[in-house]
Structure 1
């Protein structure tokens, strides 16, 4: 597993599959400092006490992007518009 992910590849997927979501594209362009927190999850925002009052992680929606050869991914969008993390479905062990 690589240390980082290819954000540009994910931005390209959003442009193709969710072209009206300029907000998501902009949020992805601002992503930095992420790390793998599990085999299939790359996190940008600390999810400690997720969705609790005062926590940085307040989930608003999840967007599924389809990838034919690499498996689907899920973008977790927080209420303030930031990308909380990205789940790579095919990397998760069953």
Structure 2
């Protein structure tokens, strides 16, 4: 994998995405099981649903920012650059 000079704002953005993704995961942890929901033995509360929707929206906003960052227009291999970004963000986060 090539060495990349990743901008600090992009590293911050990737770390923010990781945090937002974690919030999405945590939002669903208190949900009843899918089987209980399908059997109509339990349901997701309005508060749980709202929290998940908000967390997903925040994560989607960050994905859009990440994929539109102008730095990716300057690299030869976008896939490798994204992998390097994720690795660097995890290592320094």
Q: TM-score, normalised by structure 1?
A: 0.24
In our comparison, the structure showing a higher alpha carbon Rg is 2
Q: Which has the higher contact order (CA 8 A, sep 6+)?
A: 2
Higher helix share: 2
